[in-house]
Amino acid sequence: MPEDIKSMYEHELKEKFAEMGEPAYRASQVYKWLHSGVKSFDEMTNISKKLRESLMEKYYISNAAIEKKLVSSYDDTRKYLFSFSDGEMVESVLMKYHHGYTSCISTQVGCKMGCTFCATGQSGFSRNLTASEMLSQIQAEQEDNDIRISNIVLMGMGEPLDNFDNVIRFLKLVSSENGMNIGMRHISLSTCGIVPRIYELADMKLQLTLSVSLHAPNDQIRSRTMPVNRKYNISELLKACKYYSDTTSRRISFEYAMIDGVNDSEACAAELAKRLKGILSHVNLIPVNTVSGTGYEKSKKESIRKFIAVLEKSGITATVRRTLGSDINASCGQLRRSVTDGSKKE
Ligand code: SAH
Ligand code: SF4
């Protein structure tokens, strides 16, 4: 079985090259090619034919093929459905902000966490993505649009901390000097709250932004919408968050999907404010995207306004997430579901 060469660290590649009797600088040349987005060894024009042939025998270069692309007519946001060599598909979204391009990538095919409002969570889990498959989503978007992506958010399909080793590998590769060189400060990771992994991540001191999908101010509501809360409750989660911000001096973003009549009362806001006291934080309110079959509706504008007012009175900063590409939206997971429904039992 050929190995996945684009998931290798540069030092690992150097070790493999040494075994083949090749100098370290050759490994660096190949590493640079891989991270510039080439899809075949033949594109590596400064590498001899002989070496390219032996690499071809031992390794493969993973690639994300565009299955479908939706372009928003409002703001140029692009949503991609990518497929990998085994036919599995994930979604990714490319957004343009004033400071450059941001790619929102997937880390798993599906998700095990089962959040009741989430299209991905409702579709079950297939497999983890490799580090190279995460890189390939960014590379495919760069190539398709002839751009450089400067920011990454791990907020597509999947729970990044449930695919911890591959995600860490991806983060180190994408930020490496001879790789895409996207600094950790330009990367955000969003989690539903796998507590032991938050501690582990904090101790790595990576300088990336942690987003925590909170979506509820108490265990009663959260356990109903997010099954992970039955394992790690809000107090444990917030303790881990405090540890993260204390250890890294980084502010935590709390995601809060506003669901009409479920978590959007002023009492909920007051409870949330009390809970977040003492944590370096910012709250992102997102009117929930309606996913068919869930029965949830977006909160009314008036409820959102009142919710923010309560938070601000308690000194918690909150913003309503700017919704890009609302015409193509269908929150992550829906595009894949529309393609795989009927053809695949999940
Ligand atoms: N699994 C991770 C990251 C992927 S989900 C996590 O849960 O954080 C990315 C974000 O989209 C999370 O904040 C998630 O809660 C949110 N989300 C999922 N479904 C949504 C929906 N229908 N409307 C609004 N936000 C949603
Ligand atoms: Fe998984 Fe995140 Fe969706 Fe929950 S919200 S099911 S953790 S992708």
Q: Which helix (H) or strand (E) holds 35?
A: helix 24-36
Ligand 1 is surrounded, with C-beta below 6 A, by 117-118, 155, 159, 190-192, 213, 255, 257, 286, 288-289, 291, 331
Q: What is the DSSP string of 259-270?
A: BTTTT-SHHHHH
pLDDT in tens, 148-206: 999 999 999 999 999 999 999 999 999 999 999 999 999 999 999 999 999 999 999 99
Phi, psi of 81 (to 5 degrees): -115, 120
Structural domains of the chain in order of their starting residue, each with its CATH number: 3-60 (1.10.150.530), 65-340 (3.20.20.70)
- Residue that has been written with the tokens 């356990």 in this structure: 223
Neighbouring C-beta atoms of residue 290, cutoff 10 Å: 18
Write down the H helix ranges in 146-265.
Answer: 164-174, 195-204, 219-225, 234-248
Nearest atom in ligand 2 to 162's CA: 7
CB neighbour list of residue 112: distance below 8 Å, 6 or more residues apart:
125, 159, 162
268: pLDDT strictly greater than 60: yes
289: pLDDT strictly greater than 70: yes
Residue 91 falls in the annotated catalytic set: yes
- Please report the pLDDT score of residue 322 as a whole number: 62
Q: What is the DSSP string of 20-32?
A: TT--HHHHHHHHH
pLDDT in tens, 98-146: 889 999 999 999 999 999 999 898 889 999 999 999 999 999 999 999 9
CB of 304 within 6 A of ligand 2: the answer is no
> What residue owns the CA closest to ligand 2's atom 4?
115
Max Cα distance, the chain (Å): 69
Pick the closest to residue 193 from 214, 223, 219, 220 (CA basis).
Answer: 214
Segment 59-69 shows an average pLDDT of 97
Options 91, 141, 255, 271, the catalytic residue: 91
Pick the closest to residue 154 from 128, 127, 187, 122 (CA basis).
Answer: 187
How far is the centre of ligand 2, averaged over its atoms, from the C-alpha of 84 (Å)? 21
- Please report the pLDDT score of residue 330 as a whole number: 43
